[in-house]
Amino acid sequence: MKSPTFRRIAALSLLGVCLIVTTIGAQQFNADISNDGKTARLVCKMIERYHIGHSRVNDEISSRLFDRFIKDLDPNKLYFIESDIKSLNVMRKKLDDNLKNGNVQFAQDVFSLYLKTMVRQTALAQKLIEQKQDFTIDEEMVTDADDLPWAKTQDELNERWRKRIKYELLDLKLGEEGKDLEKAHEKLHRRYRTISSNLRLTDEHEITEMYLTALARSFDPHSSYMSPRTLEDFQINMRLSLDGIGAQLRYDDGFTVVAEIVPGGAADTDGRLEPGDKIVAVGQETGDFVDIVEMKLKNVVQLIRGKRGTTVRLKVKKADSDDQEMYAMVRQKIELKQSEVKGEIINGTDADVQQRTGRPVKIGIIKIPSFYRDFEGAQRGIPDFKSTEKDVRKVLANFESQGGVDAVVIDLRNNGGGALSEAIGVSGLFIKKGSVVQVKELDGTIRSHRDENPDVAYAGPLVVICNRLSASASEIFAAVIKDYNRGIIVGDTTTHGKGTVQNVMPVSDPGLGGRLQLFRRREDLGALKLTIQQFYRVNGDSTQNRGVRSDVVLPSRIDHMDLGESFLDNALPFDSIPEANDTYNVAMTSGPVINRLKQDSEKRISASENFKKVKKQIDRYVKRKSRKSVSLNENVLGKQRKIEEEELEALFPELKKKKAKEKDKDKKKKKEKKEIFPKGFYNDEVLHITADYATLLKQAKVVQGR
């Protein structure tokens, strides 16, 4: 059982790293669970026809699917016992044949058993929460499920739960709830009620979606099946807009709670709905209200979303009182601004900024959270459709209108990828005509994707920041900048290491010709996100598993986490192809330049108290990561926590102030604009490197001009 923070990051690394070549237009979604068998048959056909691995849905895949699906449901081995697995194991080599015949009963049977055990074990958890705990006993709980076999008996499983609940209570007692065990009990009761109610609301189609995704991920970690509703969410993320009221919601103990109001949306303009309010019923412009208490969150979202210009009515229980009010709001287009490209200029001519840069230079910062593209808008010829390339070009033009900059920093940290066309388009803003990425097709042929536009939007010094969560399209861009010697890469040792391309295609029979499909009414069976190509750098190397290595490495804890393609199940191996034949050397970097930048950066880092603290933090993290168990003795665990906390606060005194501020964080809506490139020692070192780089290039030009 890894830490919650690690699991969140790992989940992001798995779900976010996606390079898309095409997507399908918006559709009306009327999924019918009776179609699950048909969907399964077609998904099998499509995988065998289009997956880059040319593998069959056979006994080997059946065995992988068996393990994958069970692990997805019970990763910590807290529900199933050994006899459950043995009874299910008779199906291990039969799932492939069943799926090809449209039989998804195994998924329903396993989930039914899982639900039954979940009800039993969460009921046990509720009893264990109220039991008196002795935190003076010296005992430990194993934290890494990979080191645990399945429990042999129900008693052995219950013992795992006893330790789990004891640890969770101790964790709360030593943490946010202090010595107040009553609050800890209440919080845990609510947690397990939520787990139970959420799982009970899972419908058959969702189970099939999980099962078919487990099948797709048995081939590689980035393929998946998307139900019609999941596909709609995916399209919203790609086009960065939706029609609704502009409120982010969360599920809490049966209630739909407003988590945040999106700036510029209908709810923000109306002003009455506030974070913490509970929505208890939803109605359309006419007709009855639908009670949404205990309703699954995504079903609530579907009721609230709708065509722009229409009215939705909400019954709301206010956060600060028991009053219930009714709000009517007109749905409107909501731009998801937090995910779009942003830019700012850090002006080193200002005294306080010079301290960050080390020199009087102007540095343009461009933050690219993802490589998004509104495919539908582009297909319909909408002039202002959302596009990363267009937005980066606008930011660069804005820099120019402000007198230009001495250097540009592109921040790709945590950018998990997106549209291949956008990676190519953004790359073309910084190089003249030439290959950007090479792609291996299903039949093994190599095709080069080129920048056909000779215009360069920015030709000056360029620095690209990456980390272990920079993946896919981010790696294509970083690799182009590196391979053309166009700029330098700064950050973690290497990027994520994803060198595959996914295509989102509607689930349909691949045996039917495209022309015949036009005359058939297309059933809405969702879509398959399938790995159909591998991409390669212009130098011929794949980014698969190895990623793109930084020219200048800065210490960071994330660099030591088990993040990256090489840590994912069923990842494809690294390989290489011949170098592209239409590349050239921009000659804005060289071995001597990079070595000088590295040496100067290492000197600053070795003299920096903050980076010394980071290195100590890394050492502690690596030590903790190797632990396989945790103490359930309050004194032992408390001392460990205290030492770690004191060390951390000694390293970073600002954490004390931060904790005090965070207590009031959820009470008020934060409307201040988030900084694009916040002040801090890590970002300041990036600015120093950038300023050094710009100066070295300027000096080189002076020498050449003599």
Distance CA 553, CA 147 (A): 33
| Nearest one of 32, 522, 28, 25 to 306, comparing CA atoms | 28
Angle at 67 between CA 63 and CA 73, to 5 degrees: 145
- Note the helical H segments in 626-680: 634-651, 654-662
Same domain assignment for residues 292 and 403: no
Are 476 and 500 a contacting pair, CB within 8 Å? Answer: no
Distances (CA, A) of 234 to 8, 238, 241, 364, 526: 19, 6, 11, 31, 12
Instruction: Look up the CATH number of the domain holding residue 269.
Output: 2.30.42.10
| Nearest one of 473, 504, 567, 573 to 9, comparing CA atoms | 567
Q: What is the reported pLDDT for 357? A: 65
Domain edge (last residue) among 335, 369, 395 = 335
Q: What is the reported pLDDT for 336? A: 64
The alpha carbon of 260 is separated from its chain's Cα centroid by a whole number of angstroms, namely 19
| Nearest one of 98, 67, 93 to 80, comparing CA atoms | 67
Q: Which two tokens stand for residue 228?
A: 């019609």
Q: Looking at 315, 498, 542, 601, which residue is catalytic?
A: 498
Is residue 638 assigned to a domain?
A: no
Same domain assignment for residues 398 and 547: yes
Are 137 and 94 a contacting pair, CB within 8 Å? Answer: no
Q: What is the reported pLDDT for 638? A: 87
Is residue 323 assigned to a domain?
A: yes
- Residues in contact with 497: Cβ distance below 8 Å, sequence separation at least 6, in sequence order: 471, 475, 543, 544, 545, 546, 547, 564, 565, 566
The parent domain of residue 329 ranges over 241-335
Domain edge (last residue) among 335, 353, 369 = 335
Q: How many CB atoms lie within 10 A of CB 440?
A: 20
- Residues in contact with 351: Cβ distance below 8 Å, sequence separation at least 6, in sequence order: none
Q: What is the reported pLDDT for 405? A: 96
CA atoms within 13 A on the CB side of 74: 25
Is residue 625 assigned to a domain?
A: no
Same domain assignment for residues 248 and 298: yes
Q: What is the reported pLDDT for 3? A: 39
Same domain assignment for residues 305 and 405: no
Q: Looking at 220, 483, 541, 551, which residue is catalytic?
A: 483
What 8-state DSSP symbol labels residue 581? S
Are 304 and 282 a contacting pair, CB within 8 Å? Answer: yes
Is residue 606 assigned to a domain?
A: yes
Same domain assignment for residues 277 and 394: no
| Nearest one of 554, 490, 488 to 696, comparing CA atoms | 488
Angle at 227 between CA 222 and CA 233, to 5 degrees: 80
| Per-block mean pLDDT, blocks of 10 residues, the chain (706 long) | 34 38 37 73 96 94 97 95 97 97 96 96 95 93 90 97 94 75 86 85 91 96 91 72 77 81 81 89 89 81 85 87 82 75 85 65 95 89 91 97 96 93 96 94 91 93 96 96 97 95 89 48 82 94 95 94 88 93 92 96 96 89 84 90 68 52 44 74 95 91 51
What 8-state DSSP symbol labels residue 651? H
Is residue 35 assigned to a domain?
A: no
Domain edge (last residue) among 335, 370, 389 = 335
Q: Is 498 a catalytic residue?
A: yes
| Amino acid letter, 108 | Q
Segment (H or E) for 230 = helix 228-239
Q: Is 582 a catalytic residue?
A: no
Same domain assignment for residues 429 and 576: yes
Would you put residue 388 in left (φ > 0), alpha (ψ -120 to 50) or beta? alpha
Same domain assignment for residues 585 and 472: yes
The distance between the two most distant Cα atoms of the chain, rounded to a whole number of Å, is 84
Q: What is the reported pLDDT for 302? A: 83
Q: How many CB atoms lie within 10 A of CB 257?
A: 18
| Amino acid letter, 200 | R
Q: Which two tokens stand for residue 577?
A: 């192809």
- Residues in contact with 51: Cβ distance below 8 Å, sequence separation at least 6, in sequence order: 219, 220, 223, 530, 531, 532
- Residue count of the chain, please give it: 706
Helix, strand, coil shares, percent, the chain, to 5: 45, 20, 35
Residue 362 φ then ψ, to 5°: -100, 125
| Nearest one of 434, 460, 462 to 449, comparing CA atoms | 434
Is residue 251 assigned to a domain?
A: yes
Instruction: Look up the CATH number of the domain holding residue 349.
Output: 3.90.226.10
Cα R_g (the chain), whole angstroms? 27
Same domain assignment for residues 466 and 567: yes
Number of structural domains found in the chain: 3
Are 667 and 275 a contacting pair, CB within 8 Å? Answer: no
Same domain assignment for residues 320 and 358: no
Is residue 22 assigned to a domain?
A: no
Same domain assignment for residues 327 and 391: no
Q: Which two tokens stand for residue 330?
A: 């007109």
Same domain assignment for residues 594 and 491: yes
Q: Is 2 exposed, middle or buried (0-12, 13-18, 19+ CB in 10 A)?
A: middle
- Residues in contact with 606: Cβ distance below 8 Å, sequence separation at least 6, in sequence order: none
Distance CA 526, CA 200 (A): 23
Is residue 639 assigned to a domain?
A: no
Same domain assignment for residues 328 and 345: no
Distance CA 203, CA 302 (A): 15
Q: Looking at 196, 472, 556, 631, which residue is catalytic?
A: 472
